[in-house]
Amino acid sequence: MKLQNMERRKDVRPVLDEFWDIYDGKWPVIITDVVDKWPAINWTKRFFQQNYADEKVMVKAVVNRKPAALAVDMDTFISELDTSGPNGWTYLEDELFIVTRPELKKDIGPNVYAEENFFNLFPDEVRHWDCLMLWGSQFSRSSLHMDLYNWTATNAVLYGQKSWMIRYIDIHCYKCCIVWSKVIDGKIYGHSLLQMLYCMVKSHGCPIDAFVPDSTKYPHFDKAQYLEVTVTAGEMLIIPTGWYHQVKLFLSLLHKKILRKGKEVTEGVLKDMHQKKVLNS
């Protein structure tokens, strides 16, 4: 069941309390006039070929619907962008490319929505990167998933457009997830929500394609509530914790800036880390 259309809002910095009250941790929203002020909005294929042609990047490739992960140089990746099709495409997903290059990181301009970052509470040796570069060819897509640590994600599109299917966990989504959560890695799991989420982590995402779901295999999925939206260059989509999402690309070059956010989530992760340390000591 499709929910109402997602709102597009101009930068609400003058009334930031409205963002915290209405959207933060509650509802996805698109901000329309932040990313277009970043220097990174001028990044192009030519820019990366001229400056980073021989640099290695992590890429997911699908050939005849069979996935593979590999490291290739930037020039090779860019040369393959125009050869994609429905059964074969490439998707750059690199956690370190931007954060290890200060000259690129500085092109990511200020973002008031990402200033609150409880992952800064983590010790340096376990603190995660905060800038993930995604660059997909036409037809490329992700799996239906919830982000690691259930963080809030800010997704800035620099070029082209990116289509999103965003689903809130309601009873129908839960029921269809039970179908595929029973057996993972040869082990049988129960049907509790916690166990279902654990299965999603173990299997690296949900096997259901939210854009073309198999209604016979997952009859409850069509009843689940969802939002569908296309985000274009210069816009930023903010997805709260607890929302599953899947993306597909029509053009290329985008950058996804991840915001680890939510005090309760962070404190829970730190507590879990402490317990594991005690058990392993």
What average pLDDT does this structure show over 57-85?
87
pLDDT given for residue 180 in this prediction? 44
Q: Which span out of 87-101, 177-191, 205-219, 248-262 was modeled with the highest average pLDDT? A: 87-101
- pLDDT score of 53: 96
**Strand, helix or coil at 80?**
coil
Q: How buried is 5 (Cβ within 10 angstroms: 0-12 exposed, 13-18 middle, 19+ buried)?
A: exposed
Mean pLDDT computed over 225-247: 86
pLDDT for the residue numbered 117: 77
Locate the domains of the chain by residue range: 8-169+226-280, 171-224
Over residues 89-107, the mean pLDDT reads 91
249 burial (CB, 10 Å; 0-12 / 13-18 / 19+) is: buried
> Would you say 84 and 90 are in contact if contact means Cβ atoms under 8 Å apart?
yes
Task: Using pLDDT thresholds of 50, 70 and 90, give the confidence band for residue 33.
Answer: confident
Enter the pTM of the model: 0.76
171-181 helix and 193-202 helix, angle to the nearest 10 degrees:
50
Q: How far apart are the C-alpha atoms of 245 and 168, rounded to whole Å? A: 9
Give the other-Cβ count within 10 Å of 235's Cβ.
22
Amino acid at 65: R
State the Cα–Cα distance between residues 149 and 129, nearest whole angstrom: 13
The set of long-range contacts for 121-125, using a CB threshold of 8 Å and a minimum separation of 24, is: 121/266, 121/270, 122/266, 122/270
User: Maximum CA pair distance of the chain?
Assistant: 53
Map residue 233 onto helix, strand or coil: coil
How far, in whole angstroms, is CA 16 from its chain's centroid?
A: 24
The pair of three-digit structure tokens given for residue 235, joined into one six-digit string: 């816009």
Mean pLDDT on 62-88:
86
Mind listing the pLDDT tens digit for each residue in 180-217?
444 444 444 444 444 445 444 444 467 778 888 888 87
User: pLDDT per residue over 36-48, tens digit each?
Assistant: 899 999 999 999 9
Q: Which CATH number is 8-169+226-280 given? A: 2.60.120.650
Tell me the two tokens of residue 83.
């050869």
